Structure 1
Amino acid sequence: MTHRFSGKTALVTGSTSNIGRAIAQRLAAEGAHVIVSGRNEERGAAVVEAIRSAGGRADFVAADLDGSAEVSRALAERALAALGGRLDILVNNAGIFPAATTLTADADMFDQVYGVNVKAPFFLMQALAPQMQAAGEGVIINLGSWVARLSLPLGALYASTKAAMETLTRAWSAEFADSGIRVNAVSPGVIRDPALDGPGYGDRFMAGTPAGGSGGPEAIAAAVAYLASDEAEFVHGTVLDVDGGRTGVAVVAGA
């Protein structure tokens, strides 16, 4: 493992499990001082302990990102304090997926999903961009989803929030380019949480794809690490699909 993030700092939202945890562990393994953040302090402490046991640097900052500017601002302030006042990499990973259709989603669910998935990262960007602008550099990586562009008969609300994040990726790339801030996104396909046993509901959506099955969170972490590194210095405003070919290759029924 390289140390391409030696001396760098990072905040990964929603990093107490699955994809976020893998991202935090990967960035720390490559030298970054990582802020692990989420609602569950016990799981957060476990992630921090795993990183430290492997020789990395990490701290936990609890945050229940509800979409309010105040909560996002508080997370930004506490993360900067723990990192010595400088943040180099922000990964907007936190998100929720309600198993609802358009006909079953109510107003409270709508507000909650947009609050966590769109408003929280928007206001976190608002709180942290000035520090990156002052430093003259920074990296933002958003998490999209394959369902933002390849629709399913359920989850319209969630899909629309991920489409919003992909749009914000391009908009922020244009808005903050003059400040030296790079903004990109990773769009995961069906990712299987290794903590769960047996096949998952989403695995059926990968039938007939080049990968032939769901992926692991480490694949997303590797993509994030690339986009966060200097190796991706010429990559701006893009959405990197890490989905086993689900959106890029036609799937033939029965194949």
Structure 2
Amino acid sequence: MDFAGKTALVTGSGAIGGLGHAIAKIFVGCGATVILTGVDRARGAEVVADLGGGARFVRVDLSSVDEVRRLADEVGPVDILVNNAVAYTLASTVGQDLDEYDGAFAVNVRAPFVLTAMLAPKMAANGGGSIVNISSTAAAKAEPGMTVYSATKAAMEALTRAWAAEFVEGNVRVNAVRPGPMHTSKLVGALGPDLGGLGQAVPMRRSADPSEVAEVVAFVASDKASFMTGATIATDGGRAAI
């Protein structure tokens, strides 16, 4: 894949070992300039150093709509937007804290909505672009304790279809990638080293390495997927098949 001359904004990419880091690594390796985001400057600097050039870090709190707007203004026109940042809240409906509920929707749904609204028209004005939304198997499969998280990811898949139709005239493609259990530092921290046994629930009987999912994201973002828009691509070890 060739991303030479292209600029990509990858949200939630400011930590070593996460999906955003893996996506950024492929983009940089294929010639793109990458803008990373996160809330921790020190960890973001580690990712920039790991990528060895071609990337810069912007600290942003995506739960704040004012900061999301600032981010969109600061980065200017981009060719690729990957809405990857995520806030987890793991609770039953009865036990769900409503502040965490609001926070999850702010980061997982409202931030991508605002970024897309501000950046997609700039992409269209420059001849087109690609937006990739990171979903989850939880959008379509019930997972205990993931009620709110599941709802946010289902919302993103609905927005993917709507945006694909809305921005097609501007040659802006919008797709989603739906990973299954993935061995990232954030998920390990939330669910434990074995991801709560989720890896054993898929036909391939393991969780994914972030690099495996990142390869699919990069393909979907690339010109090799030029006739693809409005699609949700399962990258889940067969979870969608059962």
Q: TM-score range by the shorter chain?
A: over 0.9
Return the match for 2:136 from 124, 141, 145. Answer: 145
In structure 2, how many angstroms separate the alpha carbons of the residues matched to 1:126 and 1:208? 37
* Aligned twin of 2:119: 128
Structure-2 residue corresponding to 1:92: 83
Shift of 1:72: 1.3
Taking a change above 3 Å as real, the CA distance of residues 194 and 100 of structure 1, as seen in their structure-2 partners, is closer
Name which of 92, 98, 113 aligns with 1:107. Answer: 98
Mapped partners of 2:36, 2:201: distance in 1: 36
Q: Measure, in 1, the Cα distance between the counterparts of 2:195 and 2:50.
A: 28
| Structure 1: segments with no counterpart, 5+ residues | 81-85, 251-255
- The unaligned stretches of length 5 or more in structure 2 are none
Aligned to 2:67: 71
Q: Which amino acid aligns with 1:244?
A: G
> 1:184 and 2:184 equivalent?
no
Q: CA RMSD in A?
A: 1.7
- The whole-number CA distance in structure 1 between the counterparts of 2:209 and 2:157 is 22
Q: How many residues in Structure 1 have an aligned counterpart in Structure 2? A: 237
Query: Is residue 26–residue 221 contact of structure 1 (8 Å, CA) maintained in 2?
Result: yes
Instruction: Decide which structure has greater helix share.
Output: 2
Per-residue CA deviations over 1:112-165 (Å, capped at 9, x if unaligned) read 110010001100111112211211201000000001101012110010000000
Return the alpha-carbon distance in structure 2 between the equivalents of residues 67 and 156 of structure 1: 23
Q: Which residue of 1 aligns with 2:42?
A: 42
Q: Is the 1:28–1:58 contact (alpha carbons within 8 Å) kept by the matching residues of 2?
A: yes
Deviation by residue 1:180-238 (Cα, 9 ceiling, x = unmatched)? 000001111000026969x7342622326332211110011101110011110011100
CA distance in 2, matches of 1:183, 1:7: 20
- 2:208 maps to 1:211: no
- Alignment counterpart, residue 158 of structure 2, candidates 155, 158, 167: 167
